[in-house]
Amino acid sequence: MGAAVTGYFTAFSLILAIGAQNAFVLRQGLLRAHVFAICLFCAVSDAVLIAAGVAGFGAMVEAAPWLPLVMSLGGAAFLIVYGAMRFRAAWVGDYAMVLEGKSMALIPALATCAAFTWLNPHVYLDTLGLVGAVSTGFEPGPQKWVFGIAAICASFTFFFALGYGARLLGPVMQSVATWRRLDAGIGVVMWLIAAKLIWPLI
């Protein structure tokens, strides 16, 4: 029981922080566009990384010292571009399609989600690093994997709650001004995270 509780709340607390991936899931949830596919992709990606971390795969990062730099630069570049897109959308204010509930097609949406997920170095730190490290407090065997499964369940719980819970905000997202504020806020989050990735490299 202790392993399950520790695994669930460790993972949930790490995912809870507002980040680029969460902001994208929230936006898709507000649009009610490809919500199931987006949430499933995020949760399964986390499951793969958590399983790898619990299995002791975190040593991969230590074995490839160049990986954090490559991931930081690639992730920062993507966040800067996507943040600029959100700022431009907020500036132009053309939300006719958004207010009609239209979004990008499924494949581009999944590709964008994949970039937010796999180009974010913090994902690896949280899953391969921190979750993997906490899992070492349990003996190899059933207890350790109970910890991992509970952590994976936390990821599924969070992303589906965020994606489908976003529709509760639907009534207040019926104006161009509100969408402008949301996109501007997302742009700020993207650029702040990009700055956080780049700053240690300067």
Q: What is the DSSP letter of 143?
A: H
Dihedral class, residue 114 (left if φ above 0, else alpha if ψ from -120 to 50, else beta): alpha
Range in 30-44, 68-82, 112-126 the model is least confident about: 68-82
Domain count, the chain: 1
Range of the domain at 56: 2-201
Dihedral class, residue 126 (left if φ above 0, else alpha if ψ from -120 to 50, else beta): alpha
pLDDT in tens, 51-82: 888 887 556 556 666 766 776 777 778 778 87
pLDDT in the model for residue 100 = 63
pTM above 0.85, yes or no: no
pLDDT in tens, 158-168: 999 999 998 88
